Amino acid sequence: MNNTCRLSVATPSESADTPIVYVVDGDPSVRADLELLIRAAGWQPRTAESAETFLAYPQAWSPSCLLSDLHLPGLTALELQKLVADRSEMPVIFVSRHADIQATVQAMKAGAFEFLTKPVDRDVLVHAIERAIARSQSALQPLAEIRLLSQRYESLSRREREVMNLVVSGRLNKQVGGELGISEITVKAHRGKMMRKMHADSFAQLIKMFISLRGALPASGAILEGLA
């Protein structure tokens, strides 16, 4: 970074909704400069001296982006990119002291959001981060909806999950009762509780919730236990 990034600012209050800018750079002076710049822009900086240190951070569900130097100690930046490739809510911006065409092509093909060359103009960097965070916010919206649905589903009792599974598969209350060995009245009671806990105003809405959960979290057996 050039000296234009050496800003003296007060630290703004941070909340869970404040975007996070992760910085991975082996140079402590660069990390310090970027931390000041990020705070001045109103974002939360989280810095790391290596990819390994960054990977130890818990995954946050706030809008975020990753700003990484291309040349890192230990695990390389391109290896780091592969490890976070499934985190669509965290666009990756690479920064390098040298224009490395081969690395740039490789990074961009792997989904990098931007590739900048040091020294980076302050306004150019801030604009790149702004655009990355905007993309993160767009990616997080459906993820947040799925997380909310999964939390509601987790609040169901095992019996309510069994009822939900059978109901959405097209079984009538009487058929559900026959399969579970309970009365139709009991099925209706479980169904009513399940609908309230899922915040489903109609059967059609419940079906949409069910499809969303199965489609977005196919491997989450613990969360979707019992869903056929």
* Cα separation, 183 vs 54, whole angstroms: 54
In a domain, 150, yes or no: no
Q: Which of 15, 49, 8 is nearest to 29 (CA)?
A: 49
Tens digit of each residue's pLDDT (9 = 90 or more) over 162-209: 999 999 999 999 999 999 999 999 999 999 999 999 999 999 999 989
Indicate the angle between helix axes 203-216 and 184-198, nearest 10 degrees: 70
Residue 93 tokens, joined: 């911006």
pLDDT tens, residue by residue, 122-167: 999 999 999 999 999 998 887 778 888 988 999 999 999 999 999 9
Query: Same domain, yes or no, for 71 and 27?
Result: yes
Same domain for 121 and 173?
no
**Whether residue 167 is found in the same domain as residue 133:** no
Geometric angle at alpha carbon 61, from 164 and 91, rounded to 5°: 120
Residues 194 and 81 reside in one and the same domain = no
* Amino acid at the residue 139: A
222 belongs to a structural domain: no
- With bands split at pLDDT 50, 70 and 90, how would you rate the model's confidence at 6? very low
Q: pLDDT tens digits for 50-90?
A: 999 999 999 887 899 999 999 998 999 999 999 999 898 99
| Residues spanned by the domain of 57 | 3-142
Q: Are residues 39 and 90 in the same domain?
A: yes
Q: What is the pLDDT of residue 60?
A: 83
Number of folded domains that form the chain = 2
